[in-house]
Amino acid sequence: MMSWGCSGQTLALAVLSAWSLASLITIVAWATSPDLKGAARCRGDLRAAAVQLEGQRAVWGGERSQLEGALQAEREARERAESRAAALTLGMERLNQSLEECRETEAALRQNVSLLLDEREQQRRQLANLSAHIAAQDELVAYLEHNATQALMAAAACERLRTAEQHQAAAARTQTEACRVHQDFLQRQLAVCKAPEADAPRTQQQGPPPSPTPSRAAPPTLWSPALLALVCGVLRLLN
């Protein structure tokens, strides 16, 4: 658009110059032609043409000044536009450079995101493995706790059995001691009971014994079965 304005101004200057030159040629030709009007009239016309030419020159000069001012303004506007275009070009280059840097940064970020996704997947797998390992450890702990509980219960049962056996052994020892004491007592009683039977032959040799009273003769008959029963019971307890 700026080049179109400059071309229009140049064309207008060329048209004005051509028109002024044509007017001057026409006036000169008319003034020098012998077949034309008289010299006075020609001089008047020449002066009028000169005045008109001066007026045209003044007009042309004003228009030329305006056109030159407009041309200068257009040049300044073009320079400003070129400066602005250069600034825009520089800004565009900077933007392109920034865009390229942003693209490189985006590529690096995409790569980092891919690495982070891979790392997250790896951590997820590790977490799954750890969860499975923890579950297995929990099962093992539960199994060990069950075994420990069973062992504690078995130990408690064994302790109770040992205590019961100790009580039974103590009871057996007490019962054995009682049986021994009772056996000693029975042996002493047996010895006491056998003593009259041993003295009987001696009495028969010396003379007829006095008739025993029922109360003294009764014990041998009554104590013999009882003694046998007690001895059998003691032997059973000892066995």
Instruction: Quick: pLDDT tens for 107-122.
Output: 999 999 999 999 999 9
Mean pLDDT of 89-110: 91
Span 3-19, pLDDT tens digits: 545 566 777 777 777 77
Q: Give me the pLDDT at residue 84, please.
A: 87
Which of 51-60, 112-121, 158-167 bottoms out in mean pLDDT, i.e. has the lowest?
A: 51-60
Spatial CB neighbours of 12, under 8 Å, sequence gap ≥ 6: 63, 67
Which token pair is 142?
A: 């539960």
pLDDT of residue 99 exceeding 70, the answer is: yes
Nearest Cα neighbor of 159 from 151, 170, 148 is 151
pLDDT single digits (tens) 71-85 = 888 888 888 888 888
DSSP H helices in the chain: 2-32, 39-206, 214-238
167 Cβ partners below 8 Å, 6+ apart? Answer: none
- CA 182 from centroid of its chain's CA atoms: 85
* Whether the Cβ atoms of residue 67 and residue 13 lie closer than 8 Å to each other: yes
pLDDT in tens, 171-225: 888 888 888 888 888 888 888 887 766 555 555 555 444 444 433 433 444 444 5
Percent of the chain residues topping a pLDDT of 90: 20
Q: Summarize the confidence of residues 126-134 as an average pLDDT.
A: 93
Closest CA to 236 of 175, 194, 189: 175
| Cα 63 to Cα 46: distance, rounded to the nearest angstrom | 24
Please say whether the beta carbons of 213 and 151 come within 8 A: no
Q: What is the average pLDDT value for the chain, to the nearest integer?
A: 76
Please tell me the pTM assigned to this model.
0.35
pLDDT of the residue at 221: 42
End-to-end CA distance of the chain: 140
CB-based contact 30:45 (threshold 8 Å):
yes
From residue 215, give the alpha-carbon distance in Å to each of 126, 218, 219: 104, 6, 8
pLDDT of residue 56: 76
Where residue 55 falls among pLDDT bands split at 50, 70, 90? confident
Q: Name the DSSP class of 35.
A: T
